[in-house]
Amino acid sequence: MPVSQYDSIIVGAGLNGLAAGVVLAKAGWKVLMFESQSEPGGAVRTAEVTLPGFRHDLYATNLNGFATSQLFHDFGADLRRLGLEFVRASNAFCSVFPDGDMVGVTTDLEETISEVRRLSAADAEAWRALTERFRRMADYVFPVMRQPMPSWGTLRTLLRGTRALGTRWPIGLFALLMTSQREFVTRHFRHPKIAALWAAWGMHLDFAPEVRGGGLYGFIQCMSAQANGLHFGKGGASVVVDALARLYCELGGELRCSSPVAEIVVENGRAVGVKLSGGELIAARHGVIANTTPTVLFGKLIKAGVSRRLARKAQRYRYGPGTMMIHLALSQLPQWRNSRAASFAYVHVAPSLEIMSRAYDDASHGRLPAEPVLIVAQPTLFNASRAPHSRHVLSIQVRVLPSRLDWDTVKEEYADRLLALLERYAPGVRQQIVGRCVLSPVDLERANPNLVGGDNLSGSHHLAQQFIFRPFLGWSRYRTPVRGLYICGASTWPGAGVTAASGYLLANLLTQTADQPPSTGMSTPVT
């Protein structure tokens, strides 16, 4: 059987697969990308799942990471030409509370400080000090997230930070890294509402208030949202994917959707290509890039040619709790008890650290939380084109939930309970619903095999599985123990978020250091 040959094959046309494809195609590589779904995007999808004309971001919606990414810096002009447009919300996020109060964060620092001072003068001064700390650190923290881990570039960035900020800076950064959300907010804030406002960001990942590492994540996310606002895609988050796919094809890359790869072929310890379900063999001169998690890669895509020890190690990759998405088509915006909440892009229903801790504990032990965290996105507030005239879409991300449950049986009833919870803060919201779609953790995994157990982050971000340990020690520069087999996506450094960083970094490493395997073509695969 004839064997087609490419410089590289990419399995999975999610954001990071597309980013890798764009960089490689720009460098002149002959690249072929496969996607099992009918369209690219992975966990960045926009669709009309409730009623015609109501465009919902099915999973990710916050595009801050992409708007400030190195990929967008390099290719932004082309991506804008091909249809990418952002909508920026300066009223970034707020938290609502059972007593009808609300605390919000905007890009106007003095406005935010005034909001905090209303509850606590001491907390307002602490907030200002943290903002100044973030400004000093930003030039030496964010560049680390744009470098492979580990790398000389990372070390140089940290050394520059030490020269600029003093020798105590790296010690302070390490201390922040080892801090939990509870430790952080207890140290800096006195008022429980300010603590809850800040700590809610940890629940976007799997950082319950007591989990170490949450302090750094909350600090970065809260201060970044204050500095930049929140970026949405005009028309939906999929505008990022659509523009990347167009650019990739424009540069000469080939994209095949509705084309699941049956097997990544490994011969003599090297990934040499792929086999499709119909038996077609396609060789990859410089190797195969898998935009997957380790368990999907070694549990489903590689069927032979690797040791049992390696396969077992891949299965030890840990996932976090599950997520539910509730998408609503509304006749009007929610009528929040505190009307100011209607002006914010994100509304967090996470009124206390105790409620967040209890939800995480319940989910971790297989119980349905009575009060999970609700992350309510109001995108039509800033982009009316997402819904028919004068109507709105609302997306509720429910954090965190048990991964394994009879979700097909309980999801609608549980969604009813959560909407009743939301109604405590936004009376009458259930009467405003004209269409709804509920995606349980099981639904998320069905739609995207990388979201194992409904973990929309593609793996826990606890310290034992982050930085040089993501996904495993020795894999953090995107090389697996199989020669010519590379991995990217949210399961690799720097982790979850719509940044395209891992695909971008991997592709640049390949163009700089691509090994040269014998060009004798692919033989019959080992089966």
Residue 328 lies in a domain: no
Residue 346 lies in a domain: no
pLDDT for position 170: 84
Residue 300 lies in a domain: yes
Count other Cβ atoms within 10 Å, centred on residue 100.
Answer: 11
Residue where a domain terminates, one of 155, 186, 219: 219
463 and 314 part of one domain: yes
- Tell me the average confidence (pLDDT) per consecutive run of 10 residues in the chain, 527 residues long: 80 97 97 95 96 96 95 97 97 98 97 97 98 92 89 90 88 91 96 97 96 93 95 96 98 96 94 92 95 95 91 94 98 96 97 97 96 97 93 97 95 98 97 98 96 95 94 92 96 94 96 56 35
186 and 240 part of one domain: no
Buried b (16+ CB within 10 A) or exposed e, 307-334: eeeeeebbeebebbbbbbbbbbbbeebb
pLDDT for position 518: 36
Spatial distance between the Cα atoms of 65 and 141, rounded to a whole number of angstroms = 14
Residue 490 lies in a domain: yes
Spatial distance between the Cα atoms of 94 and 340, rounded to a whole number of angstroms = 9
195 and 253 part of one domain: no
210 and 241 part of one domain: no
248 and 199 part of one domain: no
pLDDT for position 5: 87
Count other Cβ atoms within 10 Å, centred on residue 191.
Answer: 17
249 and 293 part of one domain: yes
Q: What is the pTM of this model?
A: 0.93
User: H-helix or E-strand containing 389?
Assistant: none
pLDDT for position 144: 87
For residue range 212-270, list pLDDT tens digits in order: 999 999 999 999 999 999 999 999 999 999 999 999 999 999 999 999 999 999 999 99
CATH number reported for the structural domain that contains residue 245 in this entry: 3.50.50.60
DSSP character at residue 526: P
The residue among 278, 281, 299 whose CA lies nearest residue 9 is: 281
pLDDT for position 527: 24
- The identity of residue 413, as a single letter, is E
Spatial distance between the Cα atoms of 221 and 519, rounded to a whole number of angstroms = 46
Q: Mean pLDDT over all residues of the chain?
A: 93
Residue where a domain terminates, one of 219, 249, 273: 219
125 and 213 part of one domain: yes
Spatial distance between the Cα atoms of 227 and 405, rounded to a whole number of angstroms = 39
pLDDT for position 4: 77
Buried b (16+ CB within 10 A) or exposed e, 141-173: bebbbbbbbeeeebeebbeebbeebeeebeeeb
For residue range 132-178, list pLDDT tens digits in order: 999 999 988 888 888 999 889 889 988 998 999 998 888 888 899 99
The residue among 419, 302, 399 whose CA lies nearest residue 350 is: 399
Count other Cβ atoms within 10 Å, centred on residue 30.
Answer: 17
SS (H, E, C) 311-332: HHHHHCCCCCCEEEEEEEEECC
Q: Which residues contact 205 (CB under 8 A, 6 or more apart)?
A: 214, 217, 320, 457, 461, 496
- The identity of residue 49, as a single letter, is V
Q: For residue 270, with 0-12 CB atoms within 10 Å meaning exposed, 13-18 middle and 19 or more buried, which class applies?
A: middle
Number of domains in the chain: 2
Residue where a domain terminates, one of 219, 252, 283: 219
For CA atoms 515, 264, 276, 316, give the dihedral sign. Answer: negative
181 and 33 part of one domain: no
Residue 396 lies in a domain: no
pLDDT for position 277: 86
The residue among 255, 213, 205, 226 whose CA lies nearest residue 21 is: 255
Residue 407 lies in a domain: no
User: H-helix or E-strand containing 333?
Assistant: none
Spatial distance between the Cα atoms of 288 and 269, rounded to a whole number of angstroms = 13
Residue 160 lies in a domain: yes
Spatial distance between the Cα atoms of 164 and 143, rounded to a whole number of angstroms = 15
140 and 195 part of one domain: yes
SS (H, E, C) 448-488: CCCCHHHCCCCCCCCHHHCHHHCCCCCCCCCECCCECEEEC
For CA atoms 436, 439, 440, 446, give the dihedral sign. Answer: positive
Give how far Cα 350 sits from Cα of 285, 347, 356, 417, Å. Answer: 50, 9, 7, 16
Residue 97 lies in a domain: no
SS3 401: strand
Domain that holds residue 195: 114-219
Q: In this structure, are residues 115 and 186 in contact, taking their beta carbons and an 8 Å threshold?
A: no
